[in-house]
Amino acid sequence: MNSKTRTFVFMSKKLLDTIFNPKDLRKLHPTQLPELAKELREFIIDIVATKEGHLGASLGVVELTIALHYLFDTPNDQLVWDVGHQAYGHKILTERKAVFDTNRQLNGISGFPKRSENEYDAFGVGHSSTSISAILGMAIASKLKGETEKQHIAVIGDASIASGMAFEALNHAGVSDANMLVILNDNAIGIDPAVGALKEYLTKVKTDKRLAAQNNIIKALNFNYSGPIDGHNLDQILSELTRLKKVKGPKFLHIITTKGKGLQQAEENQVQYHAPGKFDRKTGEIIPKVVKIEPIKYQDVFGKTLVELATNNDKIVGITPAMLTGSSLKFMLEKYPERTFDVGIAEQHAVTLAAGMATQGIIPFCAIYSTFLQRAYDQIIHDVALQNLPVIFCLDRAGLVGEDGATHHGVFDLAYLRSIPNLIICAPRNEVELRNIMYTAQMGLKNPIAIRYPRGKGVLIDWQQPFTSTKIGEGTCLKKGNNIAILSIGSVAKNVSSALEQLGKNTTVSHYDMRFVKPLDEKLLHTILKSYSKIITIEDGTINGGFGSAILEFASQNTYKNTIKTMGVPDEFIHHGTVEELHSFVKIDVNSILKEIKKGA
């Protein structure tokens, strides 16, 4: 492209207004790109300030995003963003600027790159450390097809690259001749500050050029390493990327960035401004929510309860894979730092670490988001359940989690855990029940247990009640009726209770909180199946293989002929929206429950 075509865009309106996709971006002169970076940051800040979303990560890679789409022939050249928190600028420059205000909203664009949404999203992401494997696969495919000039770029953060899967991919790529570039976006933080020996190594490399040149772990893996360079200096980035385009084989560029760059508060408080909620776009100050007395978040109930238990039981430890703040294990860290372990983005390691501790009489509470526990399925089976080790899994964000969408919903846990021998599965309906099962679990269970609870606020103001033990495998009757029995599991019980309140003094419907998916309360189930012709099961999880399936299996095995209706998440991936909208979409909301009751009345 000649200089004349790159110098015509000198007009009063904003540069960003002239860009629909990277073809327009490439018409700009390099000297215009810093101004575009300023406008792109302002655009992201303006939207996220009112619509909410992930802020800090995208602000930190504005210059990199512009440089990549400016120099590379995307979407023909393939670009994969690890996790995707940092991809807002990418989305805005790739045909989604006009709809960016619908980000993470029902029927709007996804908060993460998504192949079905746009051709510039080369690979769908949401979970960490997948980008290097994916881009290596694409690079090998291009070689097999004879597309030797095609470029393949993965952008990965310093927290994500420490994960085992990323190293598996680096190990493979280093002995290939794949034409690929891995860009390490090093800002020393994921959601919480990065941890571990690799983080310490990367910190030293930033200041010790001799270490970067000689004792280099990436070079040792046969990558052509360059950097570290300033990730906010467009001239440096453009120059180095231009050079690397001509280098064949696996390449690695180390850039240093600041998460939250361009918004002072986001730079200074990177944890809070990862996803800050609504804030003043001019001052950056987070807009305080209306002060009112309301329940606290389930994650905080877990975190504060764990501290209470740990105060009286010195065998208790807390383990989390990079979710100290998200799981509220931060409270344990503050009180008992020597008994709190953030292992980084390493779910497999977290589970087997807990198993190892359990062999020595330690009581590990392993706090992992439901969707991320999927990444450690073999370890749950092979290292924990097979050896019947009493690890306590606390599954935060279980069920439909809302705006983060399909990659983050915790809807498969009941189904994927229910088939594992020795494993107890409990879903408390409220905060008091959560506290009591945590109390019970640390008193000396002989089996591993998974305790699942949802994202967001609970239902009780006065939740900090004295502990009482929970009998494993025992359900309870919350309301007695004479015609229909509703069996709920977990926090979705509140939808059932709200529906029954709307029925007033109606005496036809019973409501049972089963509490446990495994073991089931068989004595209670026999009573229910002998007493009611119509049974409704409801769960905030996939119907296939889940709680409802367990009830159907029990009824079949015992030759009951009752009519059983299962309500839950259907056999499809559910995308993003508020939790309330998604409950309505999958028909586990109050109105859907009322309709089902009226059908059977």
| Catalytically active residues, by annotation | 259, 347, 375
Contact 158, 229 (CB under 8 A): no
Pairing state between β 424-426 and 363-369? unpaired
Contact 170, 221 (CB under 8 A): yes
Contact 408, 536 (CB under 8 A): no
Look at the alpha carbons of 225, 226, 229, 234 in this order and tell me if their dihedral is positive or negative. Answer: negative
Query: Under 8 Å CB-to-CB from 200, ≥6 apart: which residues?
Result: none
| C-alpha 94, offset from chain centre | 24
The single-letter code of the amino acid at 414 is L
Backbone phi, then psi, for 57, in 5-degree steps? -65, -40
Q: Rounded to an integer, what distance in angstroms lies between the CA atom of residue 192 and that of residue 196?
A: 13
Q: Rounded to an integer, what distance in angstroms lies between the CA atom of residue 303 and that of residue 439?
A: 13
The DSSP annotation for 111-161 comes to SS--TTT-TT--S---SSS-HHHHHHHHHHHHHHTT-TT--EEEEEETTGG
Pairing state between β 476-479 and 509-513? antiparallel
Helix/strand/coil for 37:
helix
Nearest to 374 by CA among 434, 452, 485, 475: 452
The single-letter code of the amino acid at 234 is L
* Tokens standing for residue 196: 């571990």
* Tokens standing for residue 20: 């629909």
**Residue keyed to tokens 């709190």:** 340
Contact 417, 450 (CB under 8 A): yes
Q: How far apart are the first and last CA of the chain?
A: 72
Q: Rounded to an integer, what distance in angstroms lies between the CA atom of residue 214 and that of residue 389?
A: 44
For the stretch 548-552, contacts whose Cβ atoms lie closer than 8 Å and that sit 24 or more positions apart, written own/partner, are 549/415, 549/418, 550/418, 550/517, 550/518, 550/520, 551/487, 551/520, 551/525
* Burial class of residue 289 (count of CB atoms within 10 Å of its CB; 0-12, 13-18, 19+): exposed
- Strand-pairing partners, residue 251, are 181, 224
Helix/strand/coil for 434:
helix
For the stretch 7-16, contacts whose Cβ atoms lie closer than 8 Å and that sit 24 or more positions apart, written own/partner, are 14/39, 15/39, 16/40, 16/43, 16/92, 16/97
Please report, for residues 47, 86, 192, 289, 411, the alpha-carbon distance to residue 274 in angstroms, rounded to integers and kept in the order given: 15, 10, 9, 18, 24
Q: Rounded to an integer, what distance in angstroms lies between the CA atom of residue 20 and that of residue 23?
A: 8
Q: Rounded to an integer, what distance in angstroms lies between the CA atom of residue 553 and that of residue 492?
A: 22
